[in-house]
Amino acid sequence: MKMRLVSVVAVSVVALSLVFSAGLFGQSPPTAPATSRVAIPAKAGEKFDLAWIGKIVRVSDPQIAPDGKSLAVVVVRNDYDEDLNVSELALVDTATGKTRSLTHGRKTASFPRWSPMGDRLAFLAGDAEKHNQIFVLDMAGGDAEQVTKSPTSIQQFAWKPDGTAFAYAAIDEAPKLKDADKFDDAFEVGNGSFLDREKALPTHLWLIGAEGREAKRLTQGAWSLPVAFPPGPPASPIAFTPDGTKLIYVRLENTYSGDRKYSSPQVLDLATGKSEAITTHTTWAGFPVISPDGAHVAYLYLRDGVERNYEDIYVVNGLKGDGANITQAIDRNFYRALWTPDSKAILTGANDGATAALWLQPLDGKAARLDLNGVTPNTGYWLDVNVGAQGQIAFAGTEPHRPAEIYLIDSPTAKPRRLTTFNAAFDDGLKLGKSDVVTWQSPDKAPKNWTENGILTYPPDYAPGKKLPLVLYIHGGPNSASKDTFSTFAQLIAAQGWLVFEPNYRGSDNYGNDFFRAIIDDSGDGPGRDVFAGLDMLKKRGIVDENNIAVTGWSYGGYMTTWLMGHAQFWKAAIAGAPVTNLLDQYNLSDANVARAGAIGGSPYTGDWMKHWVEQSPITYYDKMVTPTLVLQDVGDYRVTITQGYELYHSLKDRGVKTYFYAYPIGGHSPADPVRMRDVYRRWIEWLGEYLPRN
């Protein structure tokens, strides 16, 4: 379940989509070592299974060198023996795609950023204390040199435009207490998660020379820069102005997670040490980026300043003002703004129908949608794109039958070309399920009679017209969308001989602001009608075994799973991952807590709003739930509290409904490590296999 947290990482298991696209499941180890550089090609007729999930290489954060001749990228592989996502950096030639490793012997390497001249590459990696530090690699040769010695992990950094220094963000160091003072640890509770054991320390800015030495503190106080709460977008990036005299960043008024909406773009004068707000907006404003010529600042802000609206891109002339909304006409929910080298336009992207799209939006005039030739950019609440100084566009994206690679667009009028081949093994003989975009009309009358869509994935050997069991997988968020692209989860389920249906219900962010807002104070009924209408459309095609339909989902998908269980009894099986079952627990105990009031209309403790919260909580309808159910959740889930998993478990088990609840003894909204992610897959498939026949 994702809250709109403009300046911090928000939500769902990627709505579980990212977790499933990166994760693993199965009954046996991969056939090749997880750290193998070259995957073994498929045998003739081989189907997608655990071994193939283990071969998937994840790529992200492409960064084009200033001369445009190469790019750096983060490459992640799974190490099951150590239960790690091992990340390294690779260098890719933009003309030939030739690739070589840049980092060796490290378990983590991330956030590659080129020096202004392109002669050095800086990145984040762990030190002996496992704190992320800035390292710099001379591209002429030699080992990477450690620049910083921060007592806490550095979260992000930016090169000074002349290449002589770095600005970076790091959380404050906790005071060192001795003797009895170590136990004097009561803390003031505010709008934080029930998992809090102390008041979070703030994150602030520092400056250090590119050669290292002593770091200079730039900001301090009880306020904070945003930090990342995965899964979701990174914290709002910091950046120098082109003349190197100022820094652009985002200020949060305190460190309580429920107050993250109180955010505003700021500019810090390095000479005076004083900061000023760029805009008058003090809520939901973030991700400011300055144009290459220093004349404009673009930032994300809610359309018309109305809570629960799409995020649009506003552009300010200079460093002061609210600016103008330049993307409202596109009517999509934007994740990011990237300037073109000439400072005359912004590249941006968003979910769009059954895909994700990129647009080039000039400061004046109509946006142009780029032709991506069937490639879908990665948009996990962030746009994984980079614009180079020569005007090239690099992005991580997928095609329907291939996991993510890096693609390059040489000019705005060119089509993308696949640059990397990390997942080349998927090209040879592997049998994958075909996916279709399906559409239907929402069941409501005008003005809500939308044409809705979803993704239907068939088993690899599907015979047209044959009726098969169907697994409903509902995305989380809810402001996310299922897209027609490579889906590890859908392919894995389809390989069992089942149809997989991923509906985009109202509240999804792929069809316009009105569709997006239609979920306000209608958390379950409206989206539920959309899902049922989509199922009815598929039944009319004569391809669904109507006696064998399962409902599953994670986060808000878990909310919809339990809501549908309480409003229909034909489900053969259900899986509720990190399920939102009690909205009051979400308000009182989760990390976003009071910020969730906008999704309903008001606090449950004011006016007559309490009945709205209760009526829209799936647990209210527990006595109608009769479906055999598997519940999965992390004990330290700050986004959807595990209390709700327990409520669902007892409400079913006490009435004799077959129910199993497996909890993972870790923090986070879903397992992110390879071994536990594999276990999620294994339990998911095994549970469905108990109830659905395989064909």
Sheet holding 263-269, edge to edge: 239-240, 246-252, 263-269, 275-277
| Across 40-54, 385-399, 461-475, 604-618, least confident range | 40-54
> For residue 204, what pLDDT band results from cuts at 50, 70 and 90?
very high
Radius of gyration (C-alpha) of the chain in whole angstroms: 24
| b (16+ CB within 10 A) / e for 662-681 | ebbeeebbbbbbbebbbbbb
Report pLDDT digits (tens) over 597-610. 999 999 999 999 99
Answer yes or no: is pLDDT of 533 > 90.
yes
| Across 92-101, 210-219, 420-429, least confident range | 420-429
Determine the Cα angle at 389 with ends 386 and 390, to 5°. 105
Q: Check residue 388 and give its pLDDT.
A: 97
Q: Check residue 23 and give its pLDDT.
A: 29
Cβ contacts of 663 within 8 Å, gap of 6 or more: 632, 633, 634, 635, 642, 645
37-54 average pLDDT score? 75
Q: Are strands 286-290 and 296-302 parallel, antiparallel or unpaired?
A: antiparallel
Q: Check residue 213 and give its pLDDT.
A: 87
> Is 326 in a helix, a strand, or coil?
coil
> For residue 52, what pLDDT band results from cuts at 50, 70 and 90?
confident
Q: Check residue 105 and give its pLDDT.
A: 82
Q: Check residue 370 and give its pLDDT.
A: 97
Answer yes or no: is pLDDT of 518 > 90.
yes
Q: Check residue 34 and give its pLDDT.
A: 33
The amino acid at 583: L
Report pLDDT digits (tens) over 249-259. 999 999 999 99
Output the six-digit token pair for 498.
């089942």
Q: Check residue 33 and give its pLDDT.
A: 32
Quote the percentage of the chain above a pLDDT of 70.
Answer: 94
Task: Please classify residue 141 by burial: count the beta carbons closer than 10 Å to its beta carbon, then call 0-12 exposed, 13-18 middle and 19+ buried.
Answer: exposed
Answer yes or no: is pLDDT of 42 > 80.
no
Q: Are strands 499-503 and 468-474 parallel, antiparallel or unpaired?
A: parallel
Q: Check residue 528 and give its pLDDT.
A: 98
Q: Check residue 227 and give its pLDDT.
A: 93
Report pLDDT digits (tens) over 491-507. 999 999 999 999 999 99
Report pLDDT digits (tens) over 385-412. 999 999 999 999 999 899 999 999 999 8
Q: With beta carbons less than 8 A apart as the criterion, state whether 94 and 69 touch.
A: yes
Closest CA to 670 of 684, 687, 691: 684
> For residue 22, what pLDDT band results from cuts at 50, 70 and 90?
very low
Answer yes or no: is pLDDT of 2 > 80.
no
Cβ contacts of 43 within 8 Å, gap of 6 or more: 429
> For residue 38, what pLDDT band results from cuts at 50, 70 and 90?
low
Length of the chain: 695
Output the six-digit token pair for 118.
């392109």
Q: Check residue 19 and give its pLDDT.
A: 32
Q: With beta carbons less than 8 A apart as the criterion, state whether 458 and 435 touch.
A: yes
- What's the CA gap between 551 and 569, in Å, rounded? 11
Output the six-digit token pair for 368.
């142009």
Q: Check residue 41 and give its pLDDT.
A: 66
- What's the CA gap between 160 and 170, in Å, rounded? 17
Answer yes or no: is pLDDT of 685 > 70.
yes
Q: Check residue 37 and give its pLDDT.
A: 53
- What's the CA gap between 201 and 435, in Å, rounded? 47
Answer yes or no: is pLDDT of 31 > 60.
no
- What's the CA gap between 477 and 481, in Å, rounded? 8
CB atoms within 10 A of CB 365: 10
Q: Check residue 40 and give its pLDDT.
A: 66
Report pLDDT digits (tens) over 342-388. 999 999 999 999 999 999 999 999 999 999 999 999 998 899 999 99
413-434 average pLDDT score? 91
Task: Please classify residue 608 by burial: count the beta carbons closer than 10 Å to its beta carbon, then call 0-12 exposed, 13-18 middle and 19+ buried.
Answer: exposed
Report pLDDT digits (tens) over 282-321. 999 999 999 999 999 999 999 999 999 999 999 999 999 9
Q: What is the pTM of this model?
A: 0.93
Output the six-digit token pair for 4.
């709109």
Domains of the chain, start order? 435-691 (3.40.50.1820)
Report pLDDT digits (tens) over 98-145. 999 999 888 899 999 999 999 999 999 999 889 999 999 999 999 999
Closest CA to 639 of 564, 683, 603, 585: 585
572-578 average pLDDT score? 98
Q: Check residue 425 and give its pLDDT.
A: 87
